[in-house]
Amino acid sequence: MSMKIEKIVGPAIPLRGDDIDTDRIIPARFLRCVTFDTLGPHAFEDDRKQDPDHVFNQEKFQNAEVLFAGNNFGCGSSREHAPQSLQKWGIKAVVGLSFAEIFFGNCNAMGIPCAKVTPEDLETLYKVAESDPTVEFTVDVDTLTVSWNGGRVNAEIPAGVRDTFLQGTWNATAVLQQAEGDIQAVANALPYINNFQ
């Protein structure tokens, strides 16, 4: 069993923009590695080089644990290196308008809740974080809210995924293993497993 994740509390980093793909989160050249350990400092490396004011460059956001993002965050490549680099950088939860599916699945399997909020609420969150980077936000997986000293908005995580965090089953290996006999039965019933002999 993995650790139960009920809430994440910490300062936030407000990353604006839609359709930010995983190539931008971690450019492909950093995928030439056999561990994830060294990825943290390379998160958004090319975006940061071209934009000195990029939020990931700003000193005041370096302690952030919650990432605020726009629409379709994490689209493109399935590389888990993307959420791994964010996690190594310090991110423990992502709050955004919407998430690409594979990125969302990878975050789930790594224990990073991704919660959706409405455009109006995201704008509020952006503004609070931008005006005071020390504000601590609570992403509450149980009550499905994002709150801070002065406000609270509703958030959305699909029920099945939310339960994996609350039950501590987001690292699915052990759970999947429990059905050992059933797995073999399903495999045996598929004619292609024995090449239709």
Partner 1 sequence: MGKTLLDKVWEKHTVRELPSGQSQLFIGLHLIHEVTSPQAFAMLKELNLPVKFPNRTFATMDHIIPTQSQARPLVDSLAEEMVVALTESCKEHNITLYDLESKQQGVVHIIGPEKGLTQPGMTIACGDSHTSTHGAFGAIAFGIGTSNIRDVLATGCLAMSKPKVRQVRVEGELKPGVYAKDVALYIIHKLGVKGGVGYAYEYAGSTFENMTMEERLTVCNMSIEGGARCGYINPDQVTFDYLKGREMVPEGEAFERAVEYWKSNASDDDAEFDDVVVYNAQDIEPMVTWGINPAQSSPVSGHVPNPENLEGAEQTSVAEALEYMQLSGDQDIKGIPLDVTFIGSCTNGRLSDLRIAAEIAKGRKVAENVQAIVVPGSMEVARQAVAEGLDKVFKEAGFEWRLAGCSMCLAMNPDKLQGDQMCASSSNRNFKGRQGSPTGRTLLMSPAMVAASSIAGKVADVRELD
- Interface residues with partner 1 (CB under 8 A) are 17-19, 21, 23-24, 27-29, 31-36, 46-47, 49-50, 71-72, 75-81, 83-84, 98-102, 105-106, 109-110, 158-161, 163-164, 167, 169, 171-173, 175-177, 179, 182-183, 186-187, 189-193, 195-197
State which residue, 131 or 196, has the beta carbon closest to partner 1: 196
Amino acid at 111: G
State which residue, 59 or 182, has the beta carbon closest to partner 1: 182
Minimum Å gap between C-beta 44 and partner 1 is 11
Q: Cα separation of 70 and 56, whole Å?
A: 15
Residue pair 109/135 in contact by the 8 Å Cβ criterion: no
Minimum Å gap between C-beta 149 and partner 1 is 30
**Dihedral of CA 161/5/137/104: which sign?**
negative
C-alpha to C-alpha distances, 124 to 33, 90, 129, 132, nearest whole angstrom: 39, 23, 9, 12
Minimum Å gap between C-beta 154 and partner 1 is 20
Residues 6+ apart with CB under 8 A from 32: none
H-helix or E-strand spanning residue 9: strand 7-14
State which residue, 101 or 136, has the beta carbon closest to partner 1: 101
Minimum Å gap between C-beta 21 and partner 1 is 5
Task: Tell me the β-bridge partners of 148.
Answer: 151
Minimum Å gap between C-beta 119 and partner 1 is 9
Half-sphere exposure (Cβ direction) of 56: Cα atoms closer than 13 Å:
25
**Dihedral of CA 119/94/44/132: which sign?**
positive
State which residue, 50 or 134, has the beta carbon closest to partner 1: 50
State which residue, 50 or 131, has the beta carbon closest to partner 1: 50
